[in-house]
Amino acid sequence: MAHFVQLLTSFTCNVATYLSRIFGMDGKTTRTWKLVLSWLPIILLAGWYTTTAYHRTEENPDEKLTPTPTKVYEAFQRYALEPDKAGDYRLWKDVRASGERFLWALPWLFLAALVGLHMGLYQWVEDLSLRSLTVVDKIPPILLLALIFVVLGTGDIAKVAIIVITVFPTIALDTQLITKSFPKELRIKAKTLGASNAEITYLVVFKNIFPRVLHVFRSSLKAIFLALLAAEAVVSAVGIGYRTFYVQRFSAVDVILVYVITATLALVTIDLSIRWYVRLRYKWLDK
């Protein structure tokens, strides 16, 4: 009996040590634990949703608010794999329309980075733009929507404009900060080595900060899509934002979920691609 108690205590002790090594402060999780912990919330959520959905559908077959995964897949089939009356595959048509608007905004956002670069290096550019950008940065873009639709019409130009107005100041201001944190010593060195102002601006500073600017862009993705989808929801005939809000009128949660999942996957893909690109292309970054 005593032997058994001793065994039990030592076992409890070992388990306690093991657990504190993982769950204590500054603990280190193993690979397996990492995998388990990172998937746990997702699996729990998915499991909870699925069971609720099936229960509710069993009680009421016309239940719309919590479609079962099967129903969501059927909605996906209808929207992505079968043409509608006009012969369009609606999901892809919408993704394409939103994607094109997003792409049209990119050159302007590159311009924002250039503006920030010059703000960080040339005092007069900073004087010229810092105050205005700081103010514009604070305008709630949703309110601007009305104004932009009045001024620029309700076409694609307005939607690109709303993206640009929303994130241009953020990107420019962040780029300015990054530019300012670039060591002055390196600029001085470049000058002693005979580089011109243009060469220092674009070949030394910009090339060095560009990967960081990409990270800024990555973190503005959410704001970009918030602005775009809101604009599409208000007035549009095609686009992810448009369709989602259109089917919302019929409480078609299954279709909404299809679009939510699609948009989320698209954003994750863009985000990860940029991260991988930066890691591969700029291996000297942050070293």
Partner 1 sequence: MSFIELTDVHQAYGHKRVLNDIDLRIREGEFTTIVGPTGCGKSTMLRLILGSEQPVRGSVTIEGTPVTGIHRDRGIVFQQYGLFPNLTVLENIMFGPVHERHSFVGGIIGRAIIKLRRGAECWLGKRVGNLLPKGPLYAIEEQALEYLNRIGLSEADAGKYPFELSGGMRQRVAIASAAIMKPKVFLMDEPFGALDAVTRQKMQQFILELHQKYQMTIFFVTHELREALFLGTRVIALSQYYKTDNGGEPGTQGSKIISDFPLQRTSTLDEKYSPELNAIEKQLMEDLDGSKKKYIGDFHLTHPDSFRTVDAAEWRRTS
214 scored as a contact of partner 1 (CB under 8 A): no
61 scored as a contact of partner 1 (CB under 8 A): no
Among the listed residues 4, 124, 250, 284, the single contact to partner 1 using CB under 8 A: 284
Nearer to partner 1, 63 or 199 (CB): 199
Give least dist CB 254 to partner 1, A. Answer: 49
**Distance separating alpha carbons of residues 124 and 111, to the nearest angstrom:** 18
Nearer to partner 1, 204 or 247 (CB): 204
215 scored as a contact of partner 1 (CB under 8 A): no
Nearer to partner 1, 151 or 203 (CB): 203
199 scored as a contact of partner 1 (CB under 8 A): yes
Nearer to partner 1, 159 or 212 (CB): 212
Q: Dig out the tokens for 184 from the structure.
A: 């002055």
Taking CA atoms, 214 is separated from 77, 174, 211, in Å, by 35, 11, 5
Q: Using alpha carbons only, give the angle 235, 261, 156 rounded to the nearest 5 degrees.
A: 25
Nearer to partner 1, 81 or 186 (CB): 186
Among the listed residues 198, 249, 250, 280, the single contact to partner 1 using CB under 8 A: 198
Q: In 115-138, which positions are buried (b, 16+ CB within 10 angstroms) versus exposed (e)?
A: bbbbbbbeeebbeebeeebeebee
Q: Which residue has the tokens 């420019």?
A: 172
Give least dist CB 188 to partner 1, A. Answer: 5
Taking CA atoms, 203 is separated from 64, 108, 195, 196, 208, in Å, by 57, 21, 9, 10, 8
56 scored as a contact of partner 1 (CB under 8 A): no
Number of residues that bind partner 1 (CB under 8 A): 24
280 scored as a contact of partner 1 (CB under 8 A): no
189 scored as a contact of partner 1 (CB under 8 A): yes
**Distance separating alpha carbons of residues 27 and 123, to the nearest angstrom:** 48
Nearer to partner 1, 154 or 208 (CB): 208
Judged by the rule CB under 8 A, the positions of this chain that interact with partner 1 are 183, 185-186, 188-196, 198-199, 202-204, 207-208, 282-285, 287
